[in-house]
Chains A and B, each alone.
Chain A
Amino acid sequence: MTEALLEVRDLVKHFPLTQGILFQRQVGAVQAVDGVSFTLAPGETLGVVGESGCGKSTVAKLVMSLEKPTAGEIFYKGEDITRLSGRALKAVRRNIQMVFQDPYTSLNPRMTVGDIIGEPYEIHPEAAPKGDRRRRVRELLDVVGLNPEYINRYPHQFSGGQRQRIGIARGLALNPEIIVADEPVSALDVSVQAQVVNLLDRLQNEFGLSYIVIAHDLSIVRHISDRIAVMYLGKIVETGTETQIYDHPTHPYTQALLSAVPVPDPEQSALRERIILTGDVPSPANPPSGCRFRTRCWKAQDLCARVEPPLTVPAPFPDPATGAHHPSACHFAEEKQHVSGA
């Protein structure tokens, strides 16, 4: 493996729960992210999947330094960015940009497209000389497949897919190395989603970008990711290459998640084995002891309530040549095939 561009180590983010108005005291904490580690290599796409409340968006905010972690480190090219502030932080931020989920609320309706895409240059004037900015914005519009003549239009004059392209153009303005995309296509119409996925793919090849893609649509994540991390209640429960996760999942949560995805093919759909989980995701303010998934797991035993399973390669799969040889946080990890329709 090449040297990591980004390395996240034991990242923790707890949001305090307070009581009282004048004298606030902490009564607990929402454990949004609780000990997450991963790496991102240059040109690689890491997919982060999980259900709402699993902490995947908080991970994105931490990587963007929009939130300060409670504990843990984020190394960008060997430098811990959680300790940076002021000018040094600003310099790092230039290289890590974000594309948001909702193209309707993430663009200022009172600004023209040219001003929106050009705004990063106001914050980082060294990125482009003033006289050259309009030309750069036109170029960016062209790169994302929009007519450069639209530079003076407003966001409401565009469709959802076009707005998402504007958001992507803004993310590209400063020539970043990493783009964090939080649900980049989920707000778009089905026939337009594929257009945006192809655009992200093309831009990655053209500019050598690294992506962290956060999404709940497992088939799209599979299509664009090289490696995947599955999150549940603030922790990564399983991680591996796209084939390892989709074809050889060993964690029961990953298996349930994959089997729950509706398959757009009636024949396939009848063939596969479905695992229907009972109940809902527990509150991250009060997660279960031991393994956090045990309250919904069909394999749970006493051990699971007492001992938290570490995220390591499970003992039953020692052979690195097999697909099941990848980190999975389960005491009773077992390989299951044919659960995925994605």
Chain B
Amino acid sequence: MLLEVQDLHVEFTSRDGLVNAVNGVSYAVDAGQTLAVLGESGSGKSVTAQAIMGILDSPPGRISKGKILFRGEDLLTMGREARRRIRGEKMAMIFQDALSSLNPVLPVGYQLGEMFRVHRGASRKESKAAAIELMERVRIPAARERVGDYPHQFSGGMRQRIMIAMALALEPDLIIADEPTTALDVTVQAQVMDLLSELQQEYRMGLILITHDLGVVADAADVIAVMYAGKIVEHAPVDALYKRPAHPYTKGLLESIPRLDRKGQDLYAIKGLPPNLARIPPGCSFHPRCPIARDRCAVDVPPLYEVAPDRSSACHYWKETIGD
């Protein structure tokens, strides 16, 4: 297995007290596989990614429990230098907002070349040539002329492709993409997602795709982990999850998508709001919003029940949910 997250807990200290952003998350990604982590704001999907990359703001953040195994080696116990070499060389991250992730006062070619200078000890000339090649790889037109341009001179879609180029520079084994297309227009989003999955297949990389968009997930992912209030509530192969969701939250999300045959009717809406992470409801954290919650749900924390050999659901009544 390329990457395995085991029972990860992350907490933040804040004015409201201890905030449990991630409460026992486990997932795994293999080479060439795409895992989509789906969740709303505050579900802990980005915090988990930051913990894997080792870029968690700490303090106030702290990994209080768990393991992150990269090719069997625990990233959390290894030394700083060893970890730094893995980050960048072996795993890379693509952020949502390319404009704020690129340095505005340096040419993009210089920033792309930096990867080779820092990690590979390349000269300026070599790194510039490598930067041009990368820009061509991600289909920036006239790469040779534009290598000296600054981030603001590129469009949003091109900046995101430069971010992808930067992540790919050292041919990492794992890429974490945190909402890579959320800031882009739909026609450009389609271009960027296509490019990303094409390159992923070519290099046989593992991809963790963090998103809130059920449509993007259906197009790109192999496996989905749905997160709610810092926990994985459902974990399943894409087709199975869309066809028969086994958790009321997933089911609610899928049903709230406007559909042709329900035009003119009310949309299904999950009642209430996502919980405050400093005051996560007891028992199942989704129970105050759940249409099938019973008394037990307010007390018993549901474990991840095995629904099928490759899928699981954290709902006491998953049989009922999946059944109808």
A positions within 8 Å CB-CB of B: 51-52, 159, 161-162, 189-195, 197-198, 201-202, 216, 218-220, 222-223, 242, 256-257, 259-267, 269, 274, 276-281, 341-342
Contact = CB atoms under 8 A, between A and B. Distances in A.
Contact of A280 (B188, B216, B266, B289): B188
Interface string B240-270: 0011000000001110111110110011111
B187 A219 contact: no
Interface stretch (B103-111, B117-125, B189-197): B189-197
Contact of B239 (A197, A264, A267): A267
Contact of B215 (A193, A259, A264, A279): A264
15 contacts: A51-B186, A191-B40, A191-B270, A193-B256, A194-B256, A218-B186, A219-B257, A222-B258, A223-B262, A223-B263, A261-B186, A262-B190, A264-B215, A267-B242, A277-B191
Nearest to A222: B258
A256 B41 CA distance: 30
B186 A192 contact: no
A194 B268 contact: yes
A279 B266 CA distance: 38
A256 B266 CA distance: 28
Q: Which 6 pairs, one residue from A and one from B, show the smallest C-beta to C-beta distance? A: A262-B215, A223-B258, A51-B185, A194-B256, A194-B269, A264-B214
Contacts of A220: 258
A190 B157 CA distance: 24
Contacts of B53: none
B315 to A, nearest CB: 16
B258 A264 contact: no
A223 B242 CA distance: 21
Nearest to A282: B155
Contacts of A216: 185-186
Contacts, number: 121
Contacts of B263: 222-223, 242
B253 A52 contact: no
Nearest to B186: A260
A159 B40 CA distance: 13
A20 B239 CA distance: 59
A183 to B, nearest CB: 13
Contacts of B158: 280
Nearest to A53: B185
A197 B257 CA distance: 11
A51 B183 CA distance: 11
Nearest to A242: B263
B194 A276 contact: yes
B219 A192 contact: no
B308 interface: no
Contacts of B189: 260, 262
Interface size class of B (residues with CB under 8 A): 35 or more
Main secondary structure of the interface of B (DSSP, over half): helix
B297 to A, nearest CB: 18
B86 interface: no
A89 B41 CA distance: 41
Interface string B217-257: 11100000000000000000011001100000000111011
Contacts of B41: 189
Given A260-B189, A276-B190, A159 B273 contact: yes
A191 B238 contact: no
A266 B185 contact: no
A192 B273 contact: yes
Contacts of A280: 155-158, 188
B215 A341 contact: yes
A190 B258 contact: no
A260 B271 CA distance: 30
B212 interface: yes
A43 to B, nearest CB: 14
A191 B185 contact: no
A220 B252 CA distance: 16
Contacts of A260: 186-187, 189-190
Contacts of B185: 51-52, 216, 281
B257 A264 contact: yes
Contacts of B186: 51, 216, 218, 257, 260-261
Contacts of B156: 52, 280
Given A159-B273, A197-B267, A190 B219 contact: no
Nearest to B181: A262
Given A219-B258, A280-B155, A263 B267 contact: no
A286 to B, nearest CB: 14
A273 B289 CA distance: 37
B73 interface: no
Nearest to B274: A189
B246 to A, nearest CB: 16
Contact of A264 (B242, B252, B270): B242
Among A198, A223, A242, A274: residue with most chain B CB under 10 A: A223
B213 interface: yes
Contacts of A219: 257-259
